[in-house]
Structure 1
Amino acid sequence: MAKALYARDPWICHLCRKPAEERELSLDHVIPVSMGGNNSLANSAIAHRKCNYARQDRPIQEFQDSITDNSEWLLSLAA
C-alpha cells in the first residue's frame, strides 16, 4: 500500500502540506480507526511522523486549525 500512497500523494504530508523525505513519513488514517475508520487505501494518506503523532485521533480540520506557522515542531519539519 505504501507505493500506492507515494504515487497518489507524492511525498507531501496530507496534514501540513509540506514536502517530506521517505524517512520522515508514516501512514495516517484519514478517519482514525478509533472513530470507525478502516485500513483501506481510500482512508490512508502519508504524513510526517511528527504531524501524525501531534494529530493523534483528532479530525483533520481540528488538527489543521490548531497548528500555526510558528509551531516549534512544524518549523523543525523545514530543517
Structure 2
Amino acid sequence: MHVSLCLVFVCLLGIARSASTPCPNGEVLVDCPVNPCARYICLSPADLKCEPNYCGECTRMWYSGTEPATCWIEDVTSIDG
C-alpha cells in the first residue's frame, strides 16, 4: 500500500511538472550542471544579453532587448574577471 501511494505521488508530481514546464513543443526541461551563459559574452554585436536555455539541452540564447538575436562572435571571460 505504501509503495502504491509513493508511485501515485511520483506520477502526480511528474504530471504537475510537465504541465508547468516553460519549454515549447514538448521539450523536456533539463538540469544543467553549469549555467550555459556563465562567463560568456558577445563581442559582435556587443549589446546582446545571454539567457540560459534549459529546454531539451543546455544552450545559450542571445537577445537584443526582448527579441532573439544572433551573436556572431562569442568570447569567454577569464575566471578572475
Query: Normalization by structure 1: what TM-score?
Result: 0.25
The structure in which a higher percent of residues are helix is 1
Structure number with the bigger relative contact order (C-alpha 8 A, sep ≥ 6) is: 1
Larger Rg belongs to:
2
The structure in which a higher percent of residues are strand is 2
Query: Normalization by structure 2: what TM-score?
Result: 0.24
